[in-house]
Structure 1
Amino acid sequence: MLNVPVKSWSSLALVLALGTFAVGTDAFVVAGFLPEMAASLHVSEAAAGQSVTVFAAAYAIGSPVLATLTARLPRRWLLVGALVVLGLANLGSALAPSLPVLIATRVLAALGAAAYTPNAGAVAASLVRPESRARALAVVVGGLTIATALGVPLGNVAAQWLGWRSALGLVAVLSVVVAAGVFAIMPWLPGGPRVPLRTRLAVLRHPAVVRVLPLTVLGMGAAYTAYAYSVPALEGVGVSAIGLMLFLYGVGAVTGNLLSGYATDRWGARRVLTIGYALMALTMGVLAWLAASGAVIPVGVGALMVVWGASSWCQTPPQQHRLISASPGEAALLVSLNSSAIYAGIGLGTVLGGLTLTSGASWMYGTAALLALAALAFTTSHPR
């Protein structure tokens, strides 16, 4: 644990969480206005959805590379710079005249996000005792899950009232404002030694790390296969109810994330993950059945959205806790690798969702259920 003079851990955690909220809003807000974006750029919804895939792929590849290139930078300057890049990239996305330009700005945004989130998590983990580490990570990751609660439905509302370009413009403003807050409150923390990327990635040979990262990819792939296309997938409940459904998903995501931090500290990561993946598989299976039968009951779908969100985002704190416990000295790198795995899973899910979109929502939900079952089997088949 670092010996850092922090006046109030809660204030610092709030600032870090606001930063991850800005990053999460940028990553997830596109799902709220995907149809409007596709129509404006004169492309299909599946093609527009690939902007999410490209963001995820750039994040997954860029995270460990940026962790190496920025290792010696003071943490405050790194976090502030990353948020400024995120803001400028979103401004570019808001002004993009075509899909190729949008894709390029989404890559830049992903690099800003990749530089911020892992380092924010590593700073949080380094400032608390080991027995409270999962809770600290849950607070910081909570910014991402709150973004799913507010960012996506607000993006949906903003797209309807202001247009999708204005929604991305608001994300740009939010990023810059949070950057100013991080600069004002974040204490000075030194960077680490410069370690070659090959040396850093040697941690991938650790058996515990090898078991954790593929599971993150599977779990996030299951969570995001249908969620990336949630607006068209939820058309059966009525256009006016889609925003509420997305908000309920976010409520479940926030609740699941926070509770999983406490549950991991008390009962262990493996038990939390087993319950989470089982609930996700069940929820996706029921949604697939409802979509296939046409028996869409808004109240029932709303309840399922809460469980879907909770099961999707309960996995991040225990996964990060397992990684950091395996090699505490490489906390920043391991968190960045897990972030890469998260976005690799999002990319996988988005590709699968785009491929199954034309076949109907039941196929998307069914594919997500199969991935969740694979994650459950992976979790239960490996020893502690």
Structure 2
Amino acid sequence: MRIRTAFSLIGLWALSLPAFTVQAQAITTDKARDVMDAILMQSGISATLSDATLTSDGAAALTYDDISLGLSGYSTPRTLRMNGVHVTVRDTDQANQVDLDIKLPERAKMNAEATSDQRDLTMRNAGGYLRWDTVKNAPVTFDGFADFLIGDEPVTRKHWLMNGLVLQWLPQQARVSWQSAEWTGPNREKRGSTKAASLIVYPGDNGETHLDYAHDGLWLPSLLQPRTVRIKSSSEGLPWTEAKPIIEKGFLDMLTGTAPRMARKQIGNALWQKAADNGAPVKIDEFYIESRGLEALGTGELLAQHAARYGFTGEMDFNLLGKDLLQNLIGTPESPTLLGALVPFAVNGLASGEPGPGGTTQYGTRLLADGRIVVNGVTVYQAPNGG
């Protein structure tokens, strides 16, 4: 999905978060500049301060031009460039904390040596709020947003766009969501779209870590499309106190120019390592998938293990509605279709179902340490080389 650049834009929202100014005091332009210098230096952003004034309500209004942020994790070196970023800095009622209100310009560019790697960026009502600890030189909370983002590749005419983007880091919650997105191939050939998506990570009542994910209206140019997905998961063995620093670092990496794909991989690897070290099972409290007349609802539990062939062992139990539609698509073990012949384990797994309530088919699936997949007691997949 071509949304990587959108997150890089929010790199300047390492300038971002809800401003609570009860009994806040006036701030000087010198203090505001010092705060911004620390943030820019820590974020790897170079910029030229072109204007600094005091407002009537005791805030400092700063304007920055010639902004440059190096982007990492891409196939070639790239740089985000923009002018006219407005930052309003206010003191707060909390010692050593200030609030920043950031407004990004409507136009920006991603520069690269190869023309095909360059992007023309359009941003509508993009910016954010940041509460910054001036002693720790670290964000306390941030809240980034954009009504509309679009990136165009000048040569191939590929593009991606997003509406209603929200990126939050609060003391007890991390969240990424958007209202709609679309990405295309050369000459605007549609490659995919989604109506809405949301990822929220937060602590539970007993300090465990919860992760909720959902998307609606996913379209892909393929036979099987998980158009709607809902997943609610939790892990008591992976406490929020251990997960929070990992997630926070990943968010800050994305905000300061790391490609989201790389940052997500780093977050996932670090959480898996922590879960494996703790022997912490991840409970899938509920999952729901809908795709062209197919529906599946179930629960499960996964255990991160160093010795497991695929990094996890676990079980998933679910009821499937629409088995006949799938069987028409991939066939049976005795008579697979051409597609089914390419994925025989899917054919065997589908055929292993047992009658369930309300016309559904029940499946009890196990992933073993040696890589075998067992469905209702039948081994439907044997990993190569005997394990």
TM-score bracket, shorter-length normalisation = under 0.3
More strand by share: 2
Q: Determine which structure has more spread, i.e. the larger CA radius of gyration.
A: 2
Considering Cα pairs closer than 8 Å and 6+ residues apart, tell me whether 1 or 2 has the greater RCO: 1
TM-score norm. by structure 2 comes to 0.23
